[in-house]
Amino acid sequence: MKVVAVANQKGGVGKTTTALNLSAALALRGQRVLLVDLDPQANCTSGLGIEVPDGSSMYPVLTNEATVHQQIVPTGRENLSLVPSEMDLAGVEIELARSDDHLTRLRNILQGLKPNDLFEYCILDTPPSLGVLMTSALAAADEILIPLQCEWFGLEGLAKIVHVIDQIRGSDANPNLTLEGIVMTMYDGRTLLSRQVVEEVSRFFPEQMYTTMIPRTIRIGEAPSHGKTIFEHDETGLGAQAYGALADEFLRRHAVPSPSLAAR
């Protein structure tokens, strides 16, 4: 099982949208995916139209009151499972900060899933901050995928999170953490700004930058309000095509054959 953290400490960059729709696209391609919602705002959970009772998040797992297996719920989509989130998860930051193993606790928990061969990928949706949950996710991940909006402020955020990755490696919490890729989101090829930001990122990160770009579309923004993935909300639209192409590129990078789908 490969653990992939979808992370950016800046909000509003399409992080949760990317974690949710990439997970859905991989599941449609036959990959068994566990999506872990680590954001107390629980947008991944609500974006899938899932309502869960109190105590259904990673909170009791991180405080040693439950196992991760007990928190996994079906999403109603084939090959896609979820560990949901809730607002109470914000409180775990305080408890984790007091513990000596706060950086490695999540990693040790997820390591327990790997021998079972239940999932090919575990996708972590992280909070838009540099708090304990974010750093724990980076320490637990094999690799990080950074969604980056096509704006100049996005470049500042990219520099900061790359610095955090270096700090995680240097602390020995996760020396093998790799920057798997950078996904440009909210792209509008008609604007000079979008093209300039893409050019700047490709100049500094030519190998990490995905060729697939996620367009700015109303349908992508609408889908979570209906509790649907973009493939369920607008399966033939530009957003579904883009996230389908992103999943195909992701699988090629991981040397996994991607099946041809009749509808994406």
Tell me what pLDDT residue 264 has: 39
SS3 assignment, position 46: helix
In a domain, 218, yes or no: yes
Per DSSP, helices labelled H in the chain are 15-28, 43-47, 59-62, 68-71, 92-97, 105-111, 132-140, 152-170, 192-204, 218-222, 230-233, 238-253
Q: Percent helix, strand, coil in the chain (nearest 5)?
A: 45, 15, 40
Q: Which pTM was predicted?
A: 0.93
Answer for the pair 224, 47: CB distance below 8 angstroms, yes or no: yes
In a domain, 16, yes or no: yes
Answer for the pair 44, 35: CB distance below 8 angstroms, yes or no: yes
Number of domains present in the structure of the chain: 1
Instruction: Give the range of the structural domain holding residue 147, as residue numbers without chain letter.
Output: 2-253
Tell me what pLDDT residue 156 has: 77
In a domain, 170, yes or no: yes
In a domain, 259, yes or no: no
From the first residue on, what is the mean pLDDT of each consecutive set of 10 residues in the chain (264 residues)?
A: 93 92 98 97 95 89 93 96 93 81 89 87 93 92 94 81 90 90 91 89 93 95 95 96 98 81 43
In a domain, 262, yes or no: no
Instruction: Name the residue type at position 182.
Output: I
- Cα separation, 112 vs 23, in Å, equals 21
- Cα separation, 43 vs 85, in Å, equals 8
Percent of the chain with pLDDT over 70: 97
How many CA atoms, within 13 angstroms, populate the side-chain half-sphere of residue 84? 19
User: Can you give 50-108 as a three-state secondary structure string?
Assistant: CCCCCCCCCHHHHCCCCCHHHHCEEEEECCEEEECCCHHHHHHHHHHHCCCCCCCHHHH
In a domain, 64, yes or no: yes
Tell me what pLDDT residue 23 has: 98
Answer for the pair 110, 100: CB distance below 8 angstroms, yes or no: no
In a domain, 211, yes or no: yes
**Continuous segment of H or E residues that includes residue 149:** strand 143-149
- Cα separation, 134 vs 197, in Å, equals 25
Q: What is the CATH number of the domain that holds 74?
A: 3.40.50.300
Closest by CA to 217, choosing from 238, 196, 197, 244, is 238
Tell me what pLDDT residue 263 has: 40
Tell me what pLDDT residue 95 has: 82
Tell me what pLDDT residue 258 has: 64
Return the bridge partners of 36, or none. Answer: 83, 124
In a domain, 172, yes or no: yes
- Cα separation, 149 vs 75, in Å, equals 28
